[in-house]
Amino acid sequence: MDLSPPASPDELNEIEARIDAWLEAEAAVNTMIDAVERGHPDERRWFVRVRGEEKDIWTAWWQLRERTFRFETYVMPAPEENETLFYRHLLIRNRELVGMNFEIGDEGAIFLAGSLPVRAINNAELDRILGSMWATIERSFRPALRIGFATRFASE
């Protein structure tokens, strides 16, 4: 539990502007970023569409709250088979991760998610978050897919 005081509206506005500026600058030079969209005007939410190699396209959802900056992406649906091996694979991968982890969401879907205190948000952290999400998806997606959906890959 984060016991730090909530960020003031002025602090949140400044952090929001920092995130907007970083995303705009990064999208201009980083071909990995396919698109950036904002959520409802009353929300501090971003949708960062990312190009990958193992998973062609995925979207990072970023949300700035009073105390935390939350980030997550949908990885894949619940496995169709080999559940024990599938979840073991993800739990082992979790041990390698810093500041994020694989989670089970609604209907058993797999997400990669994490959060930081709002006052920790700077350009280096934003770069680390997006880069770490990309690297984790690249390393984990195909092996997890082959385990949890093995029958679909049996003919390869």
Tell whether 155 is covered by a domain. no
Does the predicted model carry a pTM greater than 0.75?
Answer: yes
Number of folded domains that form the chain: 1
Report yes or no: 62 and 100 within 8 Å, Cβ to Cβ.
Answer: no
Q: What is the pLDDT along the chain (156 residues), one digit of tens a residue?
A: 556 789 999 999 999 999 999 999 999 999 999 999 998 888 999 999 999 999 999 999 999 999 999 999 999 999 999 999 999 999 999 999 999 999 999 889 999 999 999 999 999 999 999 999 999 999 999 999 999 999 987 765
Tell whether 82 is covered by a domain. yes
d(CA 134, CA 26): 14
Tell whether 130 is covered by a domain. yes
The CATH code of the domain that includes 44 is 3.30.1460.10
d(CA 10, CA 36): 24
Domain that holds residue 54: 9-148
Tell whether 69 is covered by a domain. yes
d(CA 40, CA 149): 36
d(CA 38, CA 16): 11
Neighbours of 56 (CB within 10 A): 10
The pLDDT assigned to 143 comes to 96
